[in-house]
Amino acid sequence: MAGIYLHIPFCKKACHYCDFHFSTSVQYKDQMLSALRHEIMLRMHYLGKEKIETIYFGGGTPSVLSADEIQILIDEITSRFEVSADAEITLEANPDDLNAQKVRELRQTPVNRFSIGAQSFFDEDLQWMNRAHNSKEAESSVKRVQDAGFENITIDLIYGFPLLTDIKWNQNIQTLIDFQVPHISSYSMTVEPQTALASFIKKGKEQVMNESQSSAQFLTLIGRLTEAGFEHYEISNFAKPGMHSKHNSNYWEGVNYLGIGPSAHSFNGESRQWNIANNHHYMQEIQQGKIPAETEYLTIENRINEYIMTSLRTSKGLNINLIAERFGTDYSESIRKEIEKFSDKNWLEINDQKISLSLEGKLFADHIASELFVAEE
């Protein structure tokens, strides 16, 4: 079982908070599509003979592609890899791209899951973020996709930014509940270096983010969605039973995946690769039959720490026995000792060999994981 991720590096506008790799110019879109197809061919042996269970179009904004262009990329994958007949094929989409005609055309492709980047249902929030859509488009896009017969839908929301009052946040959550979508992803607003938002804050044009606000809104989100029947199966992800994201779950569970496109990452169990985050250089290298990627070979400590980080983010939690089986009892015992430090903080729940985050612990997930990391020998 494995997955394929395709990074589509185009956006209509640059969101003020975004630090993903993209270009607002689609001048070289045809050349980029050709390069993506070529890289799929060049990387056809990276995953060995593993069957592809998930395909994920991310970015950037993959919905800037036409249905025909998406189909061409899927066809290239199916011609090079063995793809499961019931593979989960996700398309990240901005609401303004999902007009009636586009949705009808996508219905004729193998795409069977949408990740819609609504982020908020208030115009002032969307304008503050510099999003390309408005609140009306956010709502209508979800209804349009549902009316077309797509059932596997996730919607993204952002919380923890100055304009988002608790009243508005509760209304955003209620809007999602009313849509009856089976999956919701929600993230705290973070200020990444080299973004417009970071520059605005540095110049005093915007407020700094409030950690207390973010924590309170996160807890509100958990309470509202679990009460509505969602499973909080990963720190930022909620799903109705049986509707977890297969692609993202594979990331968290250490399943191998291949990343196609500029800035895309790949993992084969022994090493990680990441493609160059430059469209021109990426296309130039691919045209010459070269993979423009750096490689990091993972040490045992790297692999353990990655497992700690990802497993603690999920409801499945960290399995001490699994660490002992895979890496040796010296490592598992070392981690046990570190876990004892949190016994009086009630940040962890220990059930047999499973270690998971308590409700309060979820507010400190990254800190807890870093404290449990094993040091390089």
247 and 330, same domain (yes or no): no
Question: pTM (2 decimals)?
Answer: 0.96
Beta partners for 295?
273
Is the same domain home to 332 and 184? no
Q: What type of residue sits at position 332?
A: S
Domain that holds residue 96: 2-252
What are the CA-CA distances from residue 110 to residues 114, 120, 189 (Å)? 12, 28, 33
Q: What residues contact residue 342 under an 8 Å CB cut-off, 6+ apart? A: 348, 361, 368, 371
The answer to whether residue 28 sits within a structural domain is yes
Q: Each residue of 196-236: pLDDT tens digit?
A: 999 999 999 999 999 999 999 999 999 999 999 999 999 99
Distance between CA atoms of residues 152 and 101, nearest Å: 19
Q: What is the 3-state secondary structure (H, E, C) of the chain?
A: CEEEEEEECECCCCCCCCCCCCECCCCCHHHHHHHHHHHHHHCCCCCCCCCEEEEEEEECCHHHCCHHHHHHHHHHHHHHCCEEEEEEEEEEECHHHCCHHHHHHHCCCCCCEEEEEEECCCHHHHHHHCCCCCHHHHHHHHHHHHHCCCCCEEEEEEECCCCCCHHHHHHHHHHHHHHCCCEEEEEECCCCCCCHHHHHHHCCCCCCCCHHHHHHHHHHHHHHHHHCCCEEEECCEEECCCCCCHHHHHHHCCCCEEEECCCCEEECCCEEEEECCCHHHHHHHHHCCCCCEEEEECCHHHHHHHHHHHHHCECCCEEHHHHHHHHCHHHHHHHHHHHHHHCCCCCEEEECCEEEECCCHHHHHHHHHHHHCCCCC
Q: What CATH number corresponds to the domain at position 342?
A: 1.10.10.920
The dihedrals phi and psi of 227, each to the nearest 5 degrees, come to -65, -30
Task: Round to whole Å and give the CA distance between 235 and 131.
Answer: 24
Domain membership flag for residue 257: no
pLDDT in tens, 131-185: 999 999 999 999 999 999 999 999 999 999 999 999 999 999 999 999 999 999 9
The CATH number of residue 219's host domain is 3.80.30.20
Of 252, 271, 289, the residue that ends a domain is 252
With a pLDDT cut of 70, the percent of the chain lying above it is 100
**Does 260 fall in a domain?**
no
Same domain, 231 and 321: no
* Residue 352 reports pLDDT greater than 80: no
311 and 244, same structural domain?
no
Same domain, 150 and 78: yes
Looking at the fold, whether 247 and 331 belong to one and the same domain comes out as no
Same domain, yes or no, for 246 and 330?
Answer: no
Do residues 70 and 33 touch, judged by C-beta distance below 8 A?
no
Which of these three, 221, 252, 283, is where a domain ends? 252
- On the CB side of 161, CA atoms within 13 Å amount to 24
pLDDT, position 247: 97
Of the three residues 252, 281, 310, the one that is the final residue of a domain is 252
Tokens of 214: 């973010």
Average pLDDT, integer, range 250-275: 96
Residues 245 and 305 in one domain: no
**Domain assignment of residue 115, yes or no:** yes
Count of CB atoms situated within 10 Å of the CB of 173: 21
- pLDDT, averaged across the chain: 96
With cut-offs at 50, 70 and 90, classify the pLDDT of residue 99.
Answer: very high
Together in a domain, 97 and 229: yes
Q: Read off the pLDDT band of 343 (50, 70, 90).
A: confident
Cis peptide before 60 (omega within 30 of 0): yes
Q: Is residue 110 part of a domain?
A: yes
> 282 in a domain, yes or no?
no
Q: Are residues 241 and 119 part of one domain?
A: yes
Regarding whether 357 and 235 lie in a shared domain, the answer is no
In a domain, 199, yes or no: yes
139 domain residue, yes or no: yes
Predicted confidence at residue 377, as pLDDT, reads 67
Per-residue model confidence (pLDDT) at position 351? 83
Domain total for the chain?
2
Q: What is the pLDDT of residues 37-59, one digit of tens each?
A: 999 999 999 999 999 999 999 99
Q: What is the pLDDT of residue 181?
A: 97
Q: Are residues 234 and 338 in the same domain?
A: no
